[in-house]
Structure 1
Amino acid sequence: MPQNTPAPTTASFDALGVPGLLSRSLTTRGITAPFPIQTATLPDTLAGRDVLGRGRTGSGKTLAFSLPLVARLAALVPSGESIAGRTRPAHPRGLVLAPTRELATQIAETITPLATAAGLSVTTIFGGVSQNRQVEAINRGVDIVVACPGRLEDLMGQRLIHLDRIAVTVLDEADHMADLGFLPGVTRILRATPRGTQRLLFSATLDNGVDKLVTQFLDNPLHHSVDTASSPVAAMEHHVFLVPSTDAKNELVRTLASGSARRLLFTRTKHQAKKLARQLTSSGVPAVELHGNLSQNARERGLDAFSSGEVRVMVATDIAARGIHVDDVDLVVHVDPPAEHKAYLHRSGRTARAGHGGDVVTVVLPEQRSDFRSLARAAKISAAPVSVTADDPRVAELVGEVAAVVDPQRAPLAASRKPAPQQPGAGRASGGSRRRRGGSAAGRASTGTSGAGSARTTVNGRSVGAPVNTGSAAPAASTGGRARPGRRRRAGAAQGAPRGAVNR
C-alpha cells in the first residue's frame, strides 16, 4: 500500500529541487509560488520515486508531474542521468496517459514551454482524426507522448510506436479512466513499459480500480493527498434553483447564460447539448457545444472560441467535466443534474480554479428533487434549495452585467451550424450588475510568454509554436478587460491557468 506522507510547508520551486532552467522558465511566465500538490510531490518525483498524488481538478496536478517528467528526461537532476540520451524514432522516453482528447491537448500545452527550455519535443496521440500526422511526428523521434489509450493501443498494434524505452510514465485522471472502462487498455499499455522505471499516478479519488493499478505497477509509491475531490472549495458557492416546469427552466437557463462573463452549461445528453447551444445562439446568446458527436476539428474550434473569449457560453456533456481546463469560468450551470455525485463535483470544478472564486447553479424540476437531495448529501453540498423565476434578484446577481444581444447570423461559428428556433419563454435578465462579494479582479497579471523560443510540440501532428503560460493569471478578456464583479481571489493565486491551459 502507498505510504502516507504529510505535505511539506510552502517553499519556492528552487527550494523543492526544480532545476534552475525550468524554474526560470516558470518565472518568465509569472509562475513563482508552488501549489500544495506541487510542494508535496516534487521532492519525491524529482528524486525518481513512484508517487500517487491525489487532489481535485484545479489543484495544480499537471504542473506537478510535468516538471519531474521534463527534468528527468533531460537529465537536469542527478536521478535522471541514467535515463538521458537520444530519443530513437518511434521509441519515446516519456508517456502521459489522459482520458480525453481535450485533456491530452491541454496537458501537452502545459508541458511544452518546459520541454522547449530543456530541448525536448512533445506530441499528442488520440483518435477522431487521421493517424498519419501523428505517425509522422513519432517517426521524427519525439521525446514525450501525451496520449489517449485507444489510439495509442491502435498504433502499438500496428507496430508504429514502441514503449520499450519509456523511462517516465504518468497516468492522469486515473479514476476517470476507470470510470470510463479504460482500465484493461491502460493495464496493457503499462505492461508494455519497462519494469523498474518511474511511474506517477494522479487522481482525484482512489477507487474504481485505481488501487489495482497502484498495487500492480507502482513500486513502493509515496502517497500525497492534497485537496481531494470530496473536500469543499471555500471560494465556490453552490446554488440550487427550483423551477416548476420545463418552460420556466428554459427561461431561467437562457437568463443565466446572458451575462458578459464566461460560463459553462452542462446537460446529460449530446442531443440536449446540441439543441441548447443552438437555441441560445438563435436567441442572441452565442454558444458553442462540446460533446462526443462532434468531429475533432469542430471540438477544437468550439473550445478555442470559448477559451479565447470569442464565445462566452459553452454547452457540454460530461466530456467537459474533466476534459477542459479554462480559466475565468465564473459560473457553472447544471442544466440537468448529473446522475452521481462525483460527476457533480467534477463539473463544478470547472469554476473556482487555481485560487479563483466561482458559482455553481443546479436547476431542479419537481420530479428531480428527491434524486438531487441524495446527490447533494453524497457530494457534501449544503446549499438550501430556493424557488426562483428568471427575473429573481438572486438570478440577476449571478448573471451580472448582461451582454448585448447578437444577431445569430453574425455569431462566431454561425456559418458552421443551422440556428434552431428560439426556445419558448426565453427572456432577458433583469438588468443590474452583480454585487461585489470580495476583492476586485482588476490588475491581475497579464499572460506572459517564454523567452525560450517556439515550442517543439505537435498537436494532432501539427507544429504548435506559442508557449502556453500555465501558471500566470490571465486578463479578463471575456469581459472586455473589466474586472469581473463578485469574483473573489484567495491569497497565493499566482498560478491561475490562462484560458485554455491546464492547471490541475
Structure 2
Amino acid sequence: MSESARADVRQQDDVSEASGATRAVPTAVSFAELGLPAEVLRALDERGVTVPFPIQAAALPNALAGRDVLGRGRTGSGKTLAFGLGMLARTAGRRAQPKEPLALVLVPTRELAQQVGEALTPYADTLRLRLATVVGGVSIGRQAAALRDGAEIVVATPGRLHDLIERKGCRLGRVRITVLDEADQMCDMGFLPQVTEILDQVRPDGQRMLFSATLDRDVDQLVRRYLRDPAVHSVDPSSSAVSAIEHHVLVVHGPDRYAVTTEIAARDGRVLLFLDTKHGVDQLTRHLRASGVAAAALHSGKSQPQRTRTLAQFKDGQVTALVATNVAARGLHVDDLDLVVNVDPATDPKDYLHRAGRTARAGRSGTVVTLVLSGQRRETSQVMADADVAPKVTKVRSGEAELSRITGAKAPSGKPLDAGAAVPRPPHHNAPFRGLGSAKDAKAGSGSRSSRKSSEARKLAEARKAARVRRGA
C-alpha cells in the first residue's frame, strides 16, 4: 500500500478532509460499459438498474480487474453491487469443492447478511453460482449442509463462520476474493479478533475489498495488514451526513413524551423508532399496539425467524411502526422509508449516523427526528456536532400542528390490536414516560393509595401495642 493511500485512510475519519475523499469519481456510465457478463447485464436490465451509483461506477472497474479496493460510501449508497457484481463476475465459471467456498463476504449483523444475500442471489443465479448465507440464530446444521453441498459464495457474520470453521464445516484456503462490508461496525462490535483470524486463513494472494461508511483507526489496521496498494474510492463526506436528510431535535416535556411518540407512530406511512434497550422496545411496542398502532419489536432477544418475519412485515406494510434497538441501525434497507425517530437519543455520533442512514437511501430524501428532554439537549447537541449534523430545534407538545407538520403525527385510533390488551392512558395524562401507558398504572389512583396507607398505619399501631404489652410482661 502506498504512503499516500495510508495517509488517506488515517485521515478520513478526522475533521479535516482526507485526500481520498476529494478524488474525482467517474461520472455515471451504464453498467454495459463496465465489462460485466451479458447474463448479469440482462438481470440488471430486468430490474430496471441501468445507471450505476457513484460508488459502483468508481469501484467496479477495479473490482473486475482483481485489484484490492478500499471504498467508503454512506449506507444506502449502493456498496453491495459495487463489490458484489465484480466478485460474482470474477468467480463465474468456477466450481467450489465441498466446504471450500471461493469467495467470502463478511458483515456485522444477521440482517445485513440476509440483505446482501438477497441482493446478490438473482445475479449469482444467472451465472450458476451457489450462494450460502451463514449467520447465528438459525440452524447451524443446515448451513453446514449447504457448505458440504458446495457454495461458491458465502455471506457470513464472523461469529457463525468461526463456529463452522471450528467444527470443520468450512475451510477458507481456496477463497480468492474476500469482502468486508461495514468494516468499521465489525471493529466497533468486537469482531476484530475473529475477522483477522478469518483473513489469515484465506488465500494470501487473493483479492480483498473493504467497504465502509466510515474509516477509522481499527479499519486502518486491517487495511495496512491485508490490502495491497488498494484503489481508494470515497464518494461521500467523512461524516457520512447526507444532505437529503432533514434533521430535527424535538424538545418535549417529560410527562408528554409518550403521547408525542404515540402520535408520531400513528402517522400515515411507515416509521422506524429507536430505543436503547430491549425492555424499552417491548414496552413501547405493547403500548402502541394497545393504542391501535400496527407496531412490532426488533432486537437481539428475538429469534432469527421472528426478526426475519418482522422485517418482512415492515417492508410490505403490515407493520407500520418498527420499534428497535441499534440492531436495526445497520444493514436494514427498506424502500421509501422517510422517517426515523430517536425516542432515546443516540449517545455516539456513529450510532446516530447509522440510525439516520435507514432513510434517504438510494438517492431519496427523508427525515430524522430526535426526542429530547430539556436536560438532554447539551449532550445531544454535542453528538450531532460530532456527526457534522446541524438539526433544527423545535419545542413541541402532543396534538400540536407543528408536530404534525414535521412528522405527520396524528391521534391513534385507540382500538387495541391484540385481544386482552390494556387500554392506554389518555394522551395528556400527567405521568412519566416509561415506553407504555397501562391501565394498571391508571387504576392506581389516590383512593387506593390512601386505603393502603391507612391499612399499613393500623398494622404499625397494632405492632407497637403488642411490643408494649410484651415489655410490661
Fold shared, TM-score > 0.5 on shorter chain: yes
Find the partner of 1:282 among 282, 290, 296. Answer: 290
Cα distance in 2, alignment partners of residues 339 and 380 from structure 1: 14
Provide, for residues 181-234 of structure 1, a one-character-per-residue CA deviation record: whole Å limited to 9, x for no partner: 100000000101010101110011111411111111111111100114514322
Is 1:177 equivalent to 2:186 in the alignment?
A: yes
What corresponds to 1:334 in structure 2? 342
Cα distance in 1, alignment partners of residues 347 and 310 from structure 2: 25
CA shift, 1:421, in A, is 5.7
What corresponds to 2:145 in structure 1? 136
What corresponds to 2:450 in structure 1? none
What corresponds to 2:462 in structure 1? none
Secondary structure of the structure 2 residue equivalent to 1:261: coil
Q: Which structure exhibits the higher relative contact order, with contacts defined as CA atoms closer than 8 Å and separated by 6 or more residues?
A: 1
Find the partner of 2:280 among 264, 267, 272. Answer: 272
Find the partner of 1:297 among 297, 300, 305. Answer: 305
Paired AA for residue 192 in structure 2: L
Alpha-carbon spacing, 1:24–1:404, altered in 2? closer, same or farther (3 Å)? farther
Cα distance in 1, alignment partners of residues 82 and 314 from structure 2: 26
Cα distance in 2, alignment partners of residues 207 and 420 from structure 1: 47
Conserved? CA contact 1:286–1:311, under 8 Å: yes
Is 1:309 equivalent to 2:327 in the alignment?
A: no
The equivalences for 1:66-465 within 5 A come to: 66-74=84-92, 84-228=93-237, 230-245=239-254, 247-400=255-408, 405=413, 407-409=415-417, 419=421, 422=424, 425=427
Cα distance in 2, alignment partners of residues 420 and 66 from structure 1: 48
CA shift, 1:128, in A, is 1.5
Secondary structure of the structure 1 residue equivalent to 2:225: helix
CA shift, 1:16, in A, is 2.1
Conserved? CA contact 2:249–2:391, under 8 Å: yes
CA shift, 1:425, in A, is 2.6
**Number of matched pairs:** 411
Cα distance in 1, alignment partners of residues 235 and 131 from structure 2: 28
Secondary structure of the structure 2 residue equivalent to 1:237: strand
Greater share of residues in helix: 2
CA shift, 1:308, in A, is 1.3
Cα distance in 2, alignment partners of residues 208 and 109 from structure 1: 31
Conserved? CA contact 1:59–1:227, under 8 Å: no
Alpha-carbon spacing, 1:172–1:421, altered in 2? closer, same or farther (3 Å)? farther
TM-score normalised according to structure 2 size: 0.83
Structure of larger gyration radius:
2
Secondary structure of the structure 2 residue equivalent to 1:307: helix
CA shift, 1:299, in A, is 0.9
Conserved? CA contact 2:274–2:323, under 8 Å: yes
Cα distance in 2, alignment partners of residues 209 and 419 from structure 1: 47
Secondary structure of the structure 1 residue equivalent to 2:70: strand
Identity %: 49
TM-score normalised according to structure 1 size: 0.78
Conserved? CA contact 1:256–1:398, under 8 Å: no
Cα distance in 1, alignment partners of residues 407 and 224 from structure 2: 47
Find the partner of 1:8 among 13, 20, 26. Answer: 26
Find the partner of 1:20 among 38, 41, 47. Answer: 38
What corresponds to 2:59 in structure 1? 41
Alpha-carbon spacing, 1:8–1:155, altered in 2? closer, same or farther (3 Å)? same
Paired AA for residue 59 in structure 1: S
Cα distance in 2, alignment partners of residues 59 and 229 from structure 1: 14
Where structure 2 has 5 or more consecutive residues not aligned to the other structure, the ranges are 6-19, 430-473
CA shift, 1:112, in A, is 0.4
Alpha-carbon spacing, 1:35–1:406, altered in 2? closer, same or farther (3 Å)? farther
CA shift, 1:313, in A, is 0.8
Conserved? CA contact 2:403–2:409, under 8 Å: no
Cα distance in 1, alignment partners of residues 425 and 190 from structure 2: 36
CA shift, 1:399, in A, is 4.0
Find the partner of 1:57 among 62, 75, 81. Answer: 75
Paired AA for residue 425 in structure 1: P
Cα distance in 1, alignment partners of residues 281 and 341 from structure 2: 12
CA shift, 1:330, in A, is 1.4
Q: CA RMSD for the aligned pairs?
A: 1.8
Cα distance in 2, alignment partners of residues 62 and 121 from structure 1: 17
CA shift, 1:423, in A, is 5.5
What corresponds to 1:484 in structure 2? none
Alpha-carbon spacing, 1:71–1:227, altered in 2? closer, same or farther (3 Å)? same
Paired AA for residue 195 in structure 1: P
Conserved? CA contact 1:17–1:42, under 8 Å: no
Following superposition, which runs of at least 4 residues in structure 1 exceed 4 angstroms of deviation? 401-404, 418-421
